[in-house]
């Protein structure tokens, strides 16, 4: 490269650095988020796509370019993960590449740089995320896939699990649920027993799950679940995982519609007969929610239909058994992560 081109490059990059440095934070996405930054990085070293030759040959042929990329990555990794003390424990707080909320910032917090729990800060409080949905490789991840729990509530949730379960118990429970699904256990009983033993698997929001507490002579939900935050109850209705939910034309089968109708009926009774249920049954309901657990390995098309149905009644959350497994694994990681902090 002629020295004149090197001087021109220095001048251009110097001017660009000055513009970027002096810009307001609110302008950064407009300046660099339209793909120009990606073009700059790819100009240093083109990502290795499907091509002839081995990975090592690619490294050899682009040794100096890739060394610059590695140096850039190292500088970013070291300089932009912020070391601090949280609750007496040293942690790293790092920026996150996903930013879904206009009024707050997402970050990563853990004992390693750019790793750990997903956190959210809105200027008033910190919340941490628990996985709320099953997501498969290639799926687009959005805010609806997580529960963001304020830090004080997060500590309470973790503490409620800590008092009853050791670390090994959490992973053992996740493995037990996975085994039930892998072996295609079709009976409802083992899943009911599992949930009663492990009420924490729903994001540690319940202290107990109790079975077959009749609301009246005809309404008998599978479970009521005691909420950690206020001691009131939600309703949990369970169906076996492998029942068919959809007809060949993509519409709901009667099994699903019956389960949905049950959920609506139980919620209506819990709301309209709240005083009776508290006085006569010892069941306290305050703004109850219903979790409807059914289905396994649904297609993406069917999952979208489920989500549309769910939006028709925000008091009902439909979870597949894939979702439950994801929440259980996410809750275990969440609790263990908070313990380390």
Confidence of residue 170 (pLDDT cuts 50, 70, 90): confident
Domain coordinates in residue numbering, the chain: 3-79, 81-124, 159-340
Bridge partners of 227, per DSSP, are 206
Both tokens of residue 33?
């988020």
Report the distance separating Cα 238 and Cα 296, nearest Å: 13
Which residue has better confidence, 141 or 77?
A: 77
Note the pLDDT of residue 271.
Answer: 92
Mean pLDDT to the nearest integer, 313-332:
91
Report pLDDT digits (tens) over 106-137. 999 988 899 888 899 999 989 888 777 766 66
- C-alpha distances in angstroms, 324 versus 58, 66, 104, 105, 201? 42, 42, 28, 27, 7
Mean pLDDT to the nearest integer, 151-165:
72
User: Residue by residue, what is the 3-state secondary structure of 5-69?
Assistant: HHHHHHHHHHHHHHHHHHCCHHHHHHHHCCCHHHHHHHHHCCCCCCCCCCHHHHHHHCHHHHHHH
Report the distance separating Cα 108 and Cα 95, nearest Å: 6
Note the pLDDT of residue 52.
Answer: 64
Which residue has better confidence, 133 or 232?
A: 232
The architecture CATH gives domain 159-340: 3-Layer(aba) Sandwich (3.40)
Report the distance separating Cα 287 and Cα 227, nearest Å: 11
User: What is the dihedral angle through the alpha carbons of 135, 139, 144, 150, rounded to the nearest 10 degrees?
Assistant: 60
- Is residue 126 within 8 Å of 117, Cβ to Cβ? no
Confidence of residue 53 (pLDDT cuts 50, 70, 90): confident
Q: What is the mean pLDDT of the chain?
A: 87
Mean pLDDT to the nearest integer, 75-83:
93
Q: How many other C-beta atoms can be found within 10 angstroms of the C-beta atom of residue 71?
A: 10
DSSP 168-223: HHHHHHHHHHHHHHHTT---SHHHHHHHHH-GGGGTT-EEEEEE---SSSS---SE
Note the pLDDT of residue 117.
Answer: 83
Q: How many CA atoms lie within 13 A of 70 on its CB side?
A: 7
- Residue 318, pLDDT > 90, answer yes
Note the pLDDT of residue 171.
Answer: 86
Report the distance separating Cα 204 and Cα 339, nearest Å: 14
Which residue has better confidence, 144 or 266?
A: 266
Report pLDDT digits (tens) over 235-267. 999 999 999 999 999 999 999 999 999 999 999
Choice among 12-16, 98-102, 114-118, 173-177 with the minimum mean pLDDT: 114-118
């Amino acid at each position: 490269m002629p020295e004149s081109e090197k001087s021109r490059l220095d001048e251009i990059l110097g001017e660009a650095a000055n513009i970027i440095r002096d810009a307001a934070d609110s302008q950064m996405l407009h300046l660099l988020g339209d793909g120009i930054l990606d073009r700059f990085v790819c100009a240093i070293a083109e990502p290795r796509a499907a091509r002839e030759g081995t990975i090592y040959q690619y490294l050899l042929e682009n040794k100096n370019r890739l060394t610059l990329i590695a140096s850039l990555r190292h500088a970013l990794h070291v300089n932009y993960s912020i070391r601090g003390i949280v609750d007496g424990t040293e942690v790293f707080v790092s920026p996150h590449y996903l930013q879904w909320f206009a009024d707050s910032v997402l970050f990563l917090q853990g004992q390693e740089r750019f790793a750990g729990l997903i956190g959210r800060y809105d200027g008033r409080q910190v919340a941490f995320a628990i996985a709320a949905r099953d997501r498969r490789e290639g799926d687009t991840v959005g805010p609806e896939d997580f529960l963001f729990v304020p830090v004080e509530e997060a500590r309470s949730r973790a503490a409620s699990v800590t008092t009853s379960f050791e670390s090994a118990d959490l992973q053992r429970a996740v493995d037990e649920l996975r085994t039930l699904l892998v072996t295609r256990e079709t009976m409802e009983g083992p899943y009911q027993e599992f949930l009663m033993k492990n009420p924490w698997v729903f994001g540690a929001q319940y202290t107990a799950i109790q079975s077959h507490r009749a609301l009246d002579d005809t309404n008998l939900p599978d479970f009521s679940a005691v909420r950690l935050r206020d001691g009131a109850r939600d309703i949990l209705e369970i169906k076996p995982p492998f029942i068919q939910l959809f007809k060949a034309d993509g519409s709901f089968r009667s099994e699903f519609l019956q389960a949905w109708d049950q959920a609506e009926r139980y919620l209506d009774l819990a709301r309209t007969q709240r005083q009776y249920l508290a006085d006569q049954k010892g069941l306290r309901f305050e703004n109850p929610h219903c979790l409807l657990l059914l289905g396994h390995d649904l297609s993406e098309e069917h999952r979208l239909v489920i989500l549309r149905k769910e939006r028709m009644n925000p008091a009902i959350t439909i979870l597949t058994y894939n979702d439950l497994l994801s929440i259980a694994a996410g809750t275990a990681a969440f609790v263990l992560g908070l313990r380390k902090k």
